[in-house]
Amino acid sequence: MREKVTGARRWVVKIGSALLTGDGRGLDRAAMAVWVEQLAALRASGAELVIVSSGAVAAGMSRLGWTERPKTTHDMQAAAAIGQMGLVQAWESSFQAHGLSTAQVLLTHDDLSDRKRYLNARSTLRALIDLNVIPVINENDTVVTDEIRFGDNDTLGALVTNLVEADLLVILTDKDGLYTSDPRHNPQAELISEAMADDPVLDAMAGGSAGALGRGGMQTKLRAARLAARSGAATVIVGGRIDRVVSRLYQGEALGTLLLPERGMLAARKQWLAGHLQTRGRLLLDEGAVRALTTGRRSLLPVGVIAVEGGFRRGEMVVCVAPDGREIARGLVNYGAQDAARILGKPTESIARILGYIDDPELIHKDNLVLV
């Protein structure tokens, strides 16, 4: 299945902080130049390219002489603001050496949670790709707070993969790939060459934590692969320090761990819904509603809802939960929490009488709902 890599038309390449900063010693421009040479060759071959770059906070820490990642938001934001200057300059100068221009794109989760801003971001990235410009994307750490933080750039890479409808997500990391167990503690651990992204067996194998510089470990990389798979993209988790790693992947060499999607491409709106990490409330469904959603692909009607949790407003994302607590689906709700609570369990024809108005006959329309 390595043709999923060699045949990929649009690549998203995410590079971790430890790689970009030489494990915290400052931006490793020599290593960046090596990756950029390969990425430029990839672009020259006709593949389209988006980079998700970590390293702003780590680069800022190096300039400030800090050895541990900041624990307070304002210190983290200050380090990001300082480090971002050098990071952008390094990418720009490296690609200019190959006659390619770059563009900085900073994102927060709110940018991808809001439908209008999501579409604006997608249009901008598509325009940059069409102009033969390499977008370099990072989380906007200078303004981000806990409420809107992606949590790690692996997740950001997956959401960008969905956003630009990429065929392949490559996560360059300081590990060679996903192993059957932690190779630091088990010398018999074996590298997993290929697997289905949604295989539950992988969860136990992805244990371990992030390093001192990053926020994500192998678990977040597996989670990112599953997010990317929702739009039909494959993911390669591979060691960024492997000689000519990008070029060898493009040539079909079986490096790292290839995680494959089980399903094909979702519709663009479904991709956006599936990529939401933030939700504003929960709807507890009865068994009939669970069957209607999971087997009949139907809209969610008020009659199938048992309880409402949260203070959501019309148009916000809510989670649909089965009686046993399992998350079944999520979608954009047509009524705010107070009105939804008034009509739960009631037939559609009674909405206007109870509320004094009716916006939509469904609580969540099937076009605004995605199964999980």
Q: 160 or 263: which carries more pLDDT confidence?
A: 160
Distance CA 58, CA 18 (A): 8
Q: Which of 139-153, 165-179, 185-199 has the lowest mean pLDDT?
A: 139-153
For 151-185, letters b (16+ CB in 10 Å) and e give: ebbbbbbbbbbbbbbbbbbbbbbebbbbbeeebee
CATH number for the region 3-271 comes to 3.40.1160.10
pLDDT digits (tens, 9 = 90+) for 56-93: 888 888 888 888 877 788 888 888 889 899 999 999 99
Find out if CATH 2.40.10.10 is the number for domain 279-371: no
Distance CA 175, CA 184 (A): 11
| Cα three-residue angle 340-345-351, rounded to 5 degrees | 55
* pLDDT value of position 186: 84
* pLDDT value of position 275: 72
Evaluate whether 354 touches 342 at the Cβ level (below 8 Å): yes
Crossing angle of helices 73-96 and 29-44, in 10° steps, is 60
Domains of the chain, residue spans = 3-271, 279-371
pLDDT at 146 over 60: no
- pLDDT exceeding 70 applies to what percent of the chain? 92
Confidence of residue 231 (pLDDT cuts 50, 70, 90): confident
Shortest CA distance to 218 belongs to which of 16, 50, 57? 16
pLDDT digits (tens, 9 = 90+) for 235-278: 999 999 999 999 999 999 999 999 999 877 666 667 767 777 78
pLDDT at 214 over 50: no
Read off the tokens for 2: 């390595």
Chain-centroid distance of CA 40 in Å reads 24
Q: What kind and span of H or E run contains 220?
A: helix 218-229
* pLDDT value of position 363: 96
